[in-house]
Structure 1
Amino acid sequence: MDPEDIRAIDENAEFFGLSRLQLMESAGKSVADSLIKRMNLNGKNILILAYIGNKGGDGFVAARYLSYYGANVNVILLSKPELISTEESKRNFSILEKLSSVAIYYAPIPLDVFSLKELFDSADVIIDAMLGTGARGEPKEPIKTAIELSNQSKAFKVSIDIPSGIDAKTGSIYKTVFKADLTITHHRPKSGLLCEIAKPFVGELEIANIGIPCDFEFYVGPGDLKIAIKKRNPFSHKGDNGRILVIGGSYKFTGAPALTAMAALRTGIDLAIIAVPSSIANAIRSYSPDLIVLPLPSKDVLDQESIEVIKNESKRVDAIIIGMGLGLEESTISTVNEIIKYLNDMEKPLVIDADALKALGRIREELKFKKAVLTPHAGEFYLLTGEPLPNESSLGWKSRVNIVMKWASKFNATILLKSRYDIITDGNRFKIKIIGNPGMTVGGTGDVLAGIVGAFLSRGISPFRAATAASFLNSYIGDLLEAEIGHHYTASDIVNKIPEVIKKFE
């Protein structure tokens, strides 16, 4: 499993009520449980090398359990205690400080580590609780020295989750790497552990159940949103942080494309351009001075006259959102399909919503996308695919998953099926959004969702991750608004709250 997905699952687990403290307790206990199966721990000298993150916290928990079995436990903290970075690790370290059965040493510099060489030489077991799945690059001092002394020792060596010095995603081996006899990884093996180049340093691989339910692997949560939030380069210029083009609107519907563009801006992009029939351009300009409105040659509805203008404008943006408020005039349907084919050939990231989905139903057998998110509700899904979905209220989301996955695979696209329980799938994997409330049925929330997806796509986020993050963000804000004012909120209320929620989770 990709380390990013693992971190998202940890974050989501806490959101759904399973705290990091509980997970840390289970992770640390799993180390002791594994060792007690392999050897009599009574009287054994066990050295735990810990750093300041959550992996260090796992080591602190392991120290407690190992001391219970009669082991002589020594913990070397390769930093200063005040620098321990997470509340969970601080809490478990404070427990260790009160124990006479566990000896704690502080080694914030290499010389301190060398002064404790006797602990390495006399150890029966050395436990690596140093660098976790988020670490990148060559281990720095004093961790480097601790790894070198460990590798020189004849002790049985154990890594918690992943050996320090291995890239958890790629399996790349850095110059200094802890050579484990046993690696006890949590919940699922990280992708890097399974790479051939890493195996000599991983040793025996054991997967520990730390109590994360399988359901949490596919529930959308704040961890998915955090993956999609990218920090801005302090030296960036206007347009570097995302440009989108919204193609929508008609003489009947002016608000939908404006909501989409405003949602994208509030999600954190630089520029939102709305291409609309000329008769409604001024109406959309009046919604906000932040919107750039491009009047098309088409007057009341999108038609063939506007294709060349849209093609030219699409070259200047990072992602395109199409569909909201276009209507279903015959001239519009044929124009939409031609535009989407062109943009797909250009490999432009696309969000296809509302009336554009209905138009695509005419050519469904021809569709094979490159970078697209389709955002239908159940009715639009039927018009797009020709296949009805089972009733969600009686049969639940599980009855729908395989159908949606099948069509996502056929279209080579990510489908975000909007419903009580959103289903997000790229045909190979799926996620389910279980939060939300009936207030989300108010008009415009789907337009907002499309704007959020498009914003993430324009920042270089993959279609599947963009869709999962947007699904969570949209419904989470809906739940916040319900708690504040009941079901009496509008799509504009959701738009205005986007920055507050992103700031909370970034």
Structure 2
Amino acid sequence: MPPLPTPTPKELLMRVRKFIPPLLETMHKGQQGRVAVIGGSEDYTGAPFFSANASALMGADMSHVICEPQAAQVIKAYSPNIMVHPYMRQSHHREKGTDTAEEISTKIEEMLDRLHAIVIGPGLGRDSLMQDTAKLIIEAAKKKGMPFVVDADGLFLVQNHPSVVQNYTHAILTPNKAEFERLCKTMKIEPSHGDETEVCSRLAKAFGGVTIIQKGSKDYISNGKHTMVCDLKGGLKRSGGQGDTLTGCLVTFLAWKKAYQDRLWKHDNSLSDSELIALSAFGASAMTRNCSRLAYEKKGRALQAFDLSLEVGQAFKNLFESEDPKL
């Protein structure tokens, strides 16, 4: 029997549309998504904001940032639309004899029951207390069966402690080229042996079915069994922070996955859990690339990460509200 044809980008985007919840009068606050970005240190305040802001602009009802107090005041000044919680601690800001990773994570774990999905890593930094706390939060999310995205210095945590995501198929890792190569080294995979599709699949398989989005000129998406490529046109400027739009869009799709599975509106319930995760990854990749293209057309070399945020609404219309997706 010949293999089934690979779905086109338009066909994949039409499948993504199936689990985007409609805006209905019967829905109440929070049902369109409650998400949180966990990160944000005194040196890195932009990344968690860009991620949470993208989730809000995508349509999540409630977007939180859980960060270090030194970052919280700055992020609160960026926007009143993001709820900011100064619960994380860097080692040099901890109270003597208190503020252990266990104490800090307990307060954050109490919030997880009110959330649908989380991002771990934007602006997290590599401070040992921040890293240890993030590890405990991931373990708590796994116990609850919660989907999560790991990015930036969250990937440094995975690089050093791969068991934290091993075999957890509701986790999505979003490495850039350098981060991907470091993860390959951790899992004893040679990134130059095979094409990008094969290597991405091998890495996902080595992690036991974790979904990988390998970012680059094309985005390779794999869970070890199925691999997709998102090669929609993006912008040519590679400024820092564009990946935060990806994580914000992605965590919103993961929240919508929960709404779909809870049958909050009438639908055919034809998408499996693994399909929903894969389509979330593809949808977020397509959103980010479309935002990048739109922003680059306006700003050219002057493009910065915030310019992608300004295009989230238009990119969503292009891909998911037009009769024919505008790629």
Q: If the TM-score is normalised by the length of the shorter chain, which range does it land in?
A: 0.7 to 0.9
Change in Cα spacing, 1:438 to 1:495, as seen in structure 2 (3 Å) is: closer
Change in Cα spacing, 1:331 to 1:437, as seen in structure 2 (3 Å) is: same
Residue of structure 1 equivalent to 2:197: 401
What is the one-letter code of the residue matched to 1:241?
A: Q
Residue of structure 2 equivalent to 1:456: 253
Deviations 1:430-461 (A, max 9, x none): 11121344535111111110010001101116
Q: Is residue 2:196 matched to residue 1:389?
A: no
Residue of structure 1 equivalent to 2:115: 317
What is the CA–CA distance in structure 2 between the aligned matches of 1:343 and 1:400, rounded to whole Å? 30
Residue of structure 2 equivalent to 1:269: 60
Residue of structure 1 equivalent to 2:135: 337
Q: CA deviation at 1:219?
A: 8.4
User: What SS class does the counterpart of residue 296 from structure 1 fall into?
Assistant: coil
| Greater relative contact order structure (CA < 8 Å, 6+ sep) | 2
Matches within 5 A, 1:34-433: 214=5, 217=8, 222-223=13-14, 225-296=16-87, 298=89, 304=101, 305-365=103-163, 367-386=166-185, 387-390=189-192, 399-411=195-207, 412-433=209-230
What is the CA–CA distance in structure 1 between the aligned matches of 2:159 and 2:11, rounded to whole Å? 28
What is the CA–CA distance in structure 2 between the aligned matches of 1:454 and 1:440, rounded to whole Å? 24
What is the CA–CA distance in structure 2 between the aligned matches of 1:406 and 1:303, rounded to whole Å? 37
What is the one-letter code of the residue matched to 1:453?
A: L
What is the CA–CA distance in structure 2 between the aligned matches of 1:452 and 1:379, rounded to whole Å? 22
* Unpaired stretches in structure 1, ≥5 consecutive residues: 1-186, 190-213, 392-397
What is the CA–CA distance in structure 2 between the aligned matches of 1:252 and 1:469, rounded to whole Å? 31
| Aligned equivalent of 2:306, options 485, 492, 500 | 492
What is the CA–CA distance in structure 1 between the aligned matches of 2:27 and 2:288, rounded to whole Å? 27
Change in Cα spacing, 1:474 to 1:227, as seen in structure 2 (3 Å) is: farther
CA contact 1:414–1:424 (8 Å) conserved in 2: yes
Cα RMSD between the aligned structures? 2.5
Deviations 1:382-408 (A, max 9, x none): 3334245239xxxxxx71212211221
Residue of structure 2 equivalent to 1:474: 288
TM-score by length of 2: 0.81
Q: CA deviation at 1:220?
A: 8.5
User: What SS class does the counterpart of residue 415 from structure 1 fall into?
Assistant: strand
Q: CA deviation at 1:363?
A: 2.0
Q: CA deviation at 1:495?
A: 1.2
Residue of structure 1 equivalent to 2:231: 434
Change in Cα spacing, 1:484 to 1:279, as seen in structure 2 (3 Å) is: closer
CA contact 1:224–1:469 (8 Å) conserved in 2: no
Greater strand proportion: 1
Change in Cα spacing, 1:438 to 1:237, as seen in structure 2 (3 Å) is: closer
Give the number of equivalent residue pairs.
290
What is the one-letter code of the residue matched to 1:401?
A: T
User: What SS class does the counterpart of residue 206 from structure 2 fall into?
Assistant: helix
Change in Cα spacing, 1:388 to 1:328, as seen in structure 2 (3 Å) is: farther
CA contact 2:237–2:296 (8 Å) conserved in 1: no
TM-score by length of 1: 0.53
* Unpaired stretches in structure 2, ≥5 consecutive residues: 259-275, 322-327
Change in Cα spacing, 1:239 to 1:438, as seen in structure 2 (3 Å) is: closer
Q: CA deviation at 1:227?
A: 4.1
Change in Cα spacing, 1:474 to 1:414, as seen in structure 2 (3 Å) is: same
What is the CA–CA distance in structure 2 between the aligned matches of 1:229 and 1:346, rounded to whole Å? 23
What is the CA–CA distance in structure 1 between the aligned matches of 2:167 and 2:126, rounded to whole Å? 22
Q: CA deviation at 1:379?
A: 1.5
What is the CA–CA distance in structure 2 between the aligned matches of 1:388 and 1:378, rounded to whole Å? 13
What is the CA–CA distance in structure 2 between the aligned matches of 1:269 and 1:475, rounded to whole Å? 20
Q: CA deviation at 1:375?
A: 0.5
